[in-house]
Structure 1
Amino acid sequence: MTCFRVLLVLCLCWLPLRSIACDTALVLTIDVSNSVDVAEYRLQVDGLADALRDPEIVDALVQGEVALSVVQWSGVDRQQLSIPWTRVRTSLDAEYVAQQARLMERAFVLSDTAPAEAIRFSLRLFDQVPDCVRKVIDVSGDGTPNAGAAVRDARNAAERAGVTINGIAIESMGLAITNFYRGAVITRNGFVITARTHRDYPRAIRTKILREISKVFG
């Protein structure tokens, strides 16, 4: 009887730990609005795929059993979940998402830029991963809104829901996009990284993902 009680206590202690195994749920959003040409789109998806094959990133993803999804966005009614939630429990899981990213077909062309709708679309996805401790949305883009609702309102809704928004601002010159992201897109606990043109995006996405998931481990 004593042994049975010990086993029961051990099982009860173990179950809650398994229920919060996912440290972070991360939605990676990619801007495919009219300002992004074919070559720039390819730089984004290849940069994402390469980042998800980086050994340091893969190790951190696996340690945290991070859940990943990828969204393409542009205008008001132009958001698509291109890669559904995938739990990265092994390096093979990370490789699967990397392959899916590299093969991902562009969802929209000749469309406006509506980041508020992209944020609200991404927020709804977290209903599918309620066990993840941290919830993060990445917003990458190369322009300010020319359609859609107020971005600050969407950002505030994310803060109320306990969701962090980080960003990659893709600049052609100056810091206009970066300053917009700082003022209207990222949450108070978020950050923005500047990419100097789309060619700098692969470096920026690697830096950003590593910073996001490494925070879990101190």
Structure 2
Amino acid sequence: MRRRSLITGSAAAALAPRLARAEPEPVDVLLVMAVDVSRSIDEDEAKLQREGYRNAVSDPRVVEVIRRGMIGAIGIAYVEWAGFEYQRLVLPWTRIGRQSDADAWASALAEAPRASLSWTSISGGIDFSRRVMAEAPFEATRRVIDVSGDGVNNSGRPAESARDDAVAEGIVINGLPIINDRPTFGRMPSLPLDQYFQQHVIGGDGAFMIVAEDFEAFGTAVRRKLIREIA
């Protein structure tokens, strides 16, 4: 009798990991939105930036593009970053497959607290987004980090080093540079921001960027970019 119990227990122990290891839900693309909240972005601009993402994700045109995908759903995580010491996951991974999902996500982002801190570490934002990507509960053949910001990397390791590490893992980095008329911390960058993003930030197969001429134009740029990334 004892021998029989031992065999039964061994079989149960062997089955347990398989039972606990649920298959991840499929989506068409995993998308981390990595958003600049450094000190160069004031309160009004931060609101415009958030509204841009809220309106873009919940736009019926974007939802329709999502629904036309092979799976008909995408996974989104929303990250904010500033200097190399500050990154946070504002909204965890969420599966968007219908209008109600998109509307609920937009409402959650509206209620999330905001912060604005000094310095701009694009590399820190990318490195943190890679870790978020690694913990995604969904499975997709395409993985994208969408970096938006209004300044060049001035904190932490070089942006291109973080980009290259992400690309080596099969992640595509797209960019949404915001062409602001204010120089970062009173200093003009050595390179126009769109050229900086082109050379130092975006990377991977099919990587692209869409320039927002200012914060007022940000929402339109986000919507165009989302449609292109999803489609």
Judge same fold: TM > 0.5, yes or no: yes
Higher helix fraction (1 or 2) = 1
Q: Give the corresponding residue for 1:76.
A: 84
- Listed one character per residue, the Cα deviations across residues 110-145 of structure 1 (whole Å, up to 9, x for unaligned) are 311000010010011122236211100000000011
Letter in 1 for 2:163: R
Letter in 2 for 1:152: E
Using the alignment, how far apart are the partners of 1:101 and 1:176 within structure 2? 31
The Cα of 1:150 is off from its aligned counterpart by: 1.0
Q: Give the corresponding residue for 1:210.
A: 227
Using the alignment, how far apart are the partners of 2:101 and 2:33 within structure 1? 16
The Cα of 1:24 is off from its aligned counterpart by: 0.3
Residue 139 of structure 1 aligns to a residue whose secondary structure is: strand
- Listed one character per residue, the Cα deviations across residues 32-61 of structure 1 (whole Å, up to 9, x for unaligned) are 001000000000001111111211101223
Q: % of aligned pairs identical?
A: 35
Using the alignment, how far apart are the partners of 1:205 and 1:198 within structure 2? 11
Letter in 2 for 1:95: D
> How many correspondences in the alignment?
196
The partner residue of 2:117 within 89, 106, 110 is: 110
The Cα of 1:21 is off from its aligned counterpart by: 2.9
Using the alignment, how far apart are the partners of 1:75 and 1:19 within structure 2? 33
Q: Give the corresponding residue for 2:201.
A: 185
Using the alignment, how far apart are the partners of 1:114 and 1:164 within structure 2? 18
Q: How does 1:113-124 map to 2 (within 5 A)?
A: 113-124=120-131
The Cα of 1:213 is off from its aligned counterpart by: 0.2
Residue 217 of structure 2 aligns to a residue whose secondary structure is: helix
Question: Pairwise CA RMSD of aligned residues?
Answer: 1.8
Q: Give the corresponding residue for 1:33.
A: 38
Q: Is the 8 A contact 1:138 1:168 kept in 2?
A: yes
Structure 2: unaligned runs, 5 residues or longer: 1-22, 182-188
Q: Does 1:100 align with 2:104?
A: no
Alignment TM-score, normalising by the size of structure 2: 0.80
Q: Give the corresponding residue for 1:150.
A: 158
Q: 1:161 to 1:77 in 2, by over 3 A?
A: same
The partner residue of 2:47 within 25, 42, 48 is: 42
Q: Is the 8 A contact 2:126 2:162 kept in 1?
A: yes
Using the alignment, how far apart are the partners of 1:171 and 1:89 within structure 2? 32
Structure number, greater radius of gyration: 2
Letter in 1 for 2:36: D
The Cα of 1:20 is off from its aligned counterpart by: 6.8
The partner residue of 1:198 within 215, 223, 231 is: 215
Structure 1: unaligned runs, 5 residues or longer: 1-17
The Cα of 1:172 is off from its aligned counterpart by: 2.5
Using the alignment, how far apart are the partners of 1:208 and 1:104 within structure 2? 23
Residue 223 of structure 2 aligns to a residue whose secondary structure is: helix
Q: 1:134 to 1:20 in 2, by over 3 A?
A: farther
Residue 170 of structure 2 aligns to a residue whose secondary structure is: coil
